[in-house]
Chains A and B, each alone.
Chain A
Amino acid sequence: MIDLSRITPAPPAEPAAFRGQWHAIEFQPELDVPQRFIVGAAVSADGRLLGWRMAQQANRLRCFYGTRYGSSLWAWLLEEAEMDLQAARGHPVAGFESRSPQLRIGPGAYTSGADWQSALARTFDRIVTVYSADRLPRYQGITQAELRAATNERLKLALPLSFGQFAQPESGVVVIDGDDRHVFDVTHDDGRLATTVVSACYANLDTAQANVYRATADLFRYRAKRPRQQLGLAVLQPTAQDAMPAETRAAWRAWWAEESYKFKQADDILVADPAAADGIAQALADWYG
């Protein structure tokens, strides 16, 4: 007969005051595709939901789904999930049903800690895959693609009759030269004024600057191919709500002040540099109206 009671373990460094179960909160973006992502963590005690934490951002979903799960949609999904979880607090986890069939709470596994909050924090850091707390997102607020889409939505309302005449495809302006096909990053062009809309809301100064350089280079080269009276450059400025650190924003402001001054010295270059998509749309409405 084996007697394990004679074994004397060392006293615990951190006695566990809380013992319960951790659960993954899973999100299935496409109901006909069995792929789930862990978007949050929950803890339960005695089978009843105690607490949870959801990823406030899901940047990695963009790797798979592009702009379909952008910031605004994710914020809405989060809000719905929070309401469902609030309603389920204190109730059996096994019976959790979200109004959205895309969201579910996975089976539980043992967890312990000084309290349920520390167990939840540790579990969240370990299992949530759609967001990394160690890395700042590349951008926050609005991406270049989202900015351009939002600008066009506003322009359609402001200039419904002429919008179709100057808006260009999302992929850019295609120029056929013999057998070759070339794409220029020009977002709007009415034959007189060619414009590019750029987002500078990136965590990295180099990326933001490279975006501007690339956009202006394409504008000038496009004009060499198709002469235009004027060129337009609309650059969304980063703000304190964006991912760019404060010091980097200051460096950006200094750099942009110099660059935009040079652009504005040319009579045939229009420059707009607001801090919101509405401002971009307003500027373009003025230019094309």
Chain B
Amino acid sequence: MPATDTPAPHTPLTPLPVMGGDAYVDTVGPLELRGANPSTHLANVRYPGQPRPQLSVVKLVPPREACNEGLAHTFLQAAGVPAPRTAALLLLPAPLAVQAVGLAAAQHYVHGNLALAWAAELLPHRSLRALFKGRSADDEWLRLLTTAAGAQLAAFDEAFGNIDRNTGNVLFAARNECWAIDHGQLFHMHDWMLGVPPDAGHSDPVRTLHRAQRGGRLAAAAYEQACARLVAAADRHRDAFVACRRAMCAVITSVYGYDGEKGANHVLRHVARRTMRGWMATRIGMLQ
């Protein structure tokens, strides 16, 4: 699903399913180039409405990260940004979680007799880090950031305060096409149950563009065009937020229940402000 400079239509939203241990069908095995979470692995997961189990990336997560993943999944769907379409929250019995990933990896995520997991379809694309060695991955990431596809990712990361965008969680699909994965660390890891997330520093994509421009790796004209594309991508955020606001609230309350409503208000106020038209232009303008 390559990005273009013309607005993508908002796709109909699929509510994020919350499923139990029966949806976790098989443990398949380890994941190549697993990130920092030691419980990340491959498994077959049975999603609602799917005729057969799908090979998925599954990881045990604390509730806030599960919500962050769910919020990102919901918003990215609404905004038409390439990201896994099929995903779910899994509530796994502790023995199953331990059997799947081992006691050492599972113990930090087991609460009572349950563990919460995030499952998303395994995409056929590989990360920049897997495809490009060393500095080449960084160079390719910089090049992608100057494209419409990269601008979509960068705009989302900036609006949602994603502090974990790196070459390991950008999937390379084609020369001008990339997909976004791993969104557990949004809002600068602020605990939004306690209050509205503050406005913190820029996300990695914006800092990468700025560093490249200041260091001479990115010409001024190319930098300006990349910023302009980023702002244009953010122009679609408002409509996307309006379309998925209720679904985002449902993600938080499905995990936190009644107690989650206050946190949902904090998050939604924060996102509402950062998806307003003109917010990104002002934000990026601060760099120029």
Binding site for B on A (CB under 8 A): 1-16, 22, 109-113, 119, 122-123, 126
Contacts and interface: CB of A to CB of B under 8 A. Distances in A.
Contacts, number: 80
B26 A2 contact: no
Interface residues on B, range: 20 to 34
Given A4-B115, A109-B28, A110-B100, 15 more contacts: A1-B111, A2-B63, A3-B111, A6-B256, A10-B48, A12-B20, A13-B46, A16-B25, A110-B27, A110-B96, A111-B27, A113-B25, A122-B25, A126-B28, A126-B44
A3 B62 CA distance: 11
B24 A112 contact: yes
A109 B26 contact: yes
A6 B99 CA distance: 23
Contacts of A15: 22
A4 B116 contact: yes
B140 to A, nearest CB: 32
Contacts of A126: 28, 44
B19 interface: yes
B91 interface: yes
Contacts of B29: 109
Given A2-B63, A15-B22, A16-B22, A7 B255 contact: yes
Nearest to B258: A6
Given A5-B112, A110-B99, A10 B18 contact: yes
Contacts of B23: 9, 12
B53 interface: yes
B112 A112 contact: no
Given A4-B114, A13-B48, A109-B27, A122 B53 contact: yes
Nearest to B254: A7
Contacts of B257: 6-7
A14 B116 contact: no
B22, B28, B114, B255 — most chain A CB neighbours (10 Å): B22
Contacts of A119: 26
5 closest pairs, A vs B, by CB?
Answer: A12-B22, A9-B20, A109-B27, A4-B114, A110-B27
